Amino acid sequence: MAYDKSFYEMYADYLTEKSVRASHDFIFRQFLEIAGSNLHVIDLGCGLGEYFQYGSFTRYVGVDKNNLGDGFRLIKEDYYDLDKVKDGLSLYLVVPNILVSLFSIECFYSVPDKYAFYERIFKEFPSIEFGLVSGFFYESKRNQETVGEAGGIVSHQTIEDPSLYISEVFTESRLHLKTPSKMFGPDVIEVWKIFIRR
C-alpha distances out from residue 71 to 52, 53, 61, Å:
9, 9, 11
Query: Is the model more confident about 90 or about 10?
Result: 90
C-alpha distances out from residue 109 to 14, 42, 68, 77, 135, Å:
22, 19, 22, 17, 11
The CATH superfamily label for domain 5-197 reads: Vaccinia Virus protein VP39 (3.40.50.150)
pTM across the whole model: 0.95
Query: Predicted confidence band at 131 (pLDDT cuts at 50, 70, 90)?
Result: very high
**pLDDT > 80? residue 62:** yes
To the nearest whole percent, how much of the chain has pLDDT over 90? 87
Query: Predicted confidence band at 176 (pLDDT cuts at 50, 70, 90)?
Result: very high
To the nearest whole percent, how much of the chain has pLDDT over 70? 97
**pLDDT > 50? residue 1:** no
Amino acid at 36: G
Rounded to whole angstroms, the Cα distance separating 179 from 198 reads: 31
Q: Nearest 5°: CA angle at 193, between 93 and 186?
A: 120
**pLDDT > 60? residue 2:** no
